[in-house]
């Protein structure tokens, strides 16, 4: 049966999966959602024997029903190959009494690789299916990781160009170097003078600009997105939660049907929404624990039912979560509003105009699967330090936020279910913050000198992505003000 997609802001019209992936954002500014969440048609007993690639096919065929088996398997096998430094793609590591799902073994050592290594293949396949003749321009805002993973995925892919905006001073030194040294004749990187929310709002405004759309069409271009607003980003993320549960079962860490809790460090809400979709598909997940840093807009939302971005923006040591407008939350709001597009559109309009909205008590009741928590900067450092002291395991700052929140949730609730933590980036990516948390003596040491030291104390190999940027040439040095993004895009495309 063909699963169709509709906008979170309109009752009218549906599109196929390939059309939703191509468009990125619906014409009315809404996000594409499936008409229903499909169920897995294989058992956990079958899944536990599957490779990552086989699991990906079992999950994604349920969502992307207009892709043929051959097309989908080609996309999967092209994505999950030797670009990853481990055959299992997403290793499961027991750390103390929790399980870390390591999602950072791809080309750019962050979880974004899990989806962005397949998105270019899904997109180019979708373009062929829909007889698209224009060049596809991938337009993306990044808080640090999406940018590099998207650039790496789309570099020199025929029929595409990619433009990435990131907040100047709002990403780690390693993240910035990974982006500005990116090769590829079709790549452009722009530092904006503002924060991530400015970049994200600017990109959304460009997608909604009908005049610009026409100008681009006349010049032979059309926009698509690599942000998690694109359903082609979200569906591949569902895979690793299904895979992780099946592997826990295979390793006899859990019994058949045993419920687990999942803790996800959360900024834009896509990664935890994927876990929610996995639960809807039939994975026995009990609580979805949403872990925030000091920009705790989501924690406050789950506690009060009020989403309020009118607050100070805090730069933290976990910059990929320094976000006050969590785009993917809209998909959840639409769901808990009973798929009422008008109600959702009204709330999103309030967010745009007032900077806040409040959900009804009935909607709040439907959030029972979720638990919010946050970690301060000190708690994040403490989690890195104590985990290393007790186990020798080194985790990055974002994973440490989740680790801290998970431990607090267990202590406060008494809920002792086994817990899976989404480990979203390599510690090498945020090396200065990580090493300083382990020992203050590293605070004054140059970031690049710490690379070898981290390798020594953790007993891990320096990732290829880090070795690459040590001597890489800077290729992108363009900057612009947040209100000049449209002019910058036109200049890059010579429109």
Tell me the two tokens of residue 305.
């039912």
Strand partners, 92: 101
Closest C-alpha among 170, 395, 192, 408 to residue 267: 170
Strand partners, 126: none
H helices of 282-396, in order, are 297-304, 329-336, 341-354, 361-365, 377-391
Which pairing describes strands 160-167 and 260-265: parallel, antiparallel, or unpaired?
A: unpaired
Rg of the Cα atoms in the chain: 21
Q: Which residues contact 298 (CB under 8 A, 6 or more apart)?
A: 266, 269, 290, 292, 326, 329, 372
Describe the crossing of helices 377-391 and 397-413 by its angle, rounded to 10 degrees: 90
Cα(196)–Cα(313) distance, rounded to whole angstroms? 10
Phi/psi of residue 431, nearest 5 degrees: -65, -40
Q: Which residues contact 297 (CB under 8 A, 6 or more apart)?
A: 307, 308, 309, 311, 323, 324, 326
Catalytic residue among 6, 112, 129, 287: 112
Closest C-alpha among 373, 362, 369 to residue 279: 369
Secondary structure (3-state) at 250: helix
Cα(21)–Cα(32) distance, rounded to whole angstroms? 9
Q: Is 168 a catalytic residue?
A: no
Q: Which residues contact 460 (CB under 8 A, 6 or more apart)?
A: 394, 454
Q: How many CA atoms lie within 13 A of 367 on its CB side?
A: 26
The answer to whether 171 touches 322, Cβ cutoff 8 Å, is no
Cα(42)–Cα(48) distance, rounded to whole angstroms? 10
Secondary structure letter of residue 474 according to DSSP: P
Strand positions, DSSP E, 69-186: 92-95, 98-102, 135-141, 160-167
Secondary structure (3-state) at 327: coil
Q: How many CA atoms lie within 13 A of 360 on its CB side?
A: 10
The answer to whether 453 touches 160, Cβ cutoff 8 Å, is no
129, 156, 207 from 89: Cα distances, Å: 28, 24, 33
Active site members: 112
């Amino acid at each position: 049966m063909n699963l169709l997609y509709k906008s979170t802001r309109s009752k009218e019209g549906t599109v196929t999966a390939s059309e939703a992936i191509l468009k990125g954002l619906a014409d009315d500014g809404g996000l594409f959602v499936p008409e229903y969440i499909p169920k897995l048609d294989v058992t956990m007993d079958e899944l536990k024997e599957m490779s990552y690639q086989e699991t990906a096919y079992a999950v994604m065929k349920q969502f992307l029903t207009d892709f043929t088996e051959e097309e989908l398997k080609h996309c999967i096998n092209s994505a999950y190959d030797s670009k990853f430094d481990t055959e299992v793609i997403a290793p499961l590591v027991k750390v103390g009494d929790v399980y870390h799902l390591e999602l950072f073994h791809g080309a750019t050592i962050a979880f974004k690789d899990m989806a962005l290594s397949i998105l270019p293949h899904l997109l180019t396949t979708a373009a062929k299916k829909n007889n698209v003749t224009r060049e596809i321009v991938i337009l993306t805002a990044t808080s640090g990781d999406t940018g590099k993973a998207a650039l790496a995925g789309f570099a020199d892919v025929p029929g595409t160009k990619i433009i990435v905006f990131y907040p100047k001073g709002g990403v780690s030194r390693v993240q910035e170097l990974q982006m500005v040294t990116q090769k590829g004749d079709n790549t452009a990187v722009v530092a904006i003078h503002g924060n991530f929310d400015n970049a994200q709002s600017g990109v959304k405004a460009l997608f909604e600009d009908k005049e610009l759309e026409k100008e681009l069409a006349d010049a032979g271009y059309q926009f698509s997105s690599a942000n998690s607003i694109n359903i082609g980003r979200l569906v591949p993320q569902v895979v690793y939660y299904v895979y992780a549960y099946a592997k826990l079962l295979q390793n006899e860490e859990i019994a058949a049907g045993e419920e687990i809790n999942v803790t996800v460090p959360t900024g834009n809400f896509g990664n935890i929404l994927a876990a929610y979709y996995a639960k809807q598909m039939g994975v026995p997940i009990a609580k979805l624990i949403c872990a925030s840093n000091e920009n705790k807009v989501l924690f406050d939302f789950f506690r009060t039912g009020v989403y309020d971005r009118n607050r100070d923006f805090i730069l933290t040591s976990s910059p990929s979560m320094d976000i006050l407008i969590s785009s993917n939350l809209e998909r959840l709001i639409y769901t808990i509003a009973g798929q009422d597009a008008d109600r959702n559109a009204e709330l999103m309009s309030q967010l745009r105009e007032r900077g806040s909205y409040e959900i009804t008590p009935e909607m709040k009741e439907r959030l029972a699967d979720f638990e919010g928590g946050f970690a301060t900067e000190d708690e994040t450092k403490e989690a890195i330090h104590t985990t290393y002291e007790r186990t020798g395991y080194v985790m990055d700052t974002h994973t440490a936020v989740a680790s801290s929140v998970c431990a607090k949730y267990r202590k406060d609730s008494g809920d002792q279910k086994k817990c899976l933590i989404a480990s979203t980036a390599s510690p090498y990516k945020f090396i200065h913050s990580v090493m300083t948390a382990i020992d203050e003596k590293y605070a004054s040491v140059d970031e690049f000198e710490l690379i070898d030291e981290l390798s020594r104390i953790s007993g891990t190999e320096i990732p290829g992505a880090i070795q690459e940027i040590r001597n890489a040439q800077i290729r992108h040095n363009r900057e612009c003000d947040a209100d000049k993004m449209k002019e910058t895009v036109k200049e890059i495309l010579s429109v």
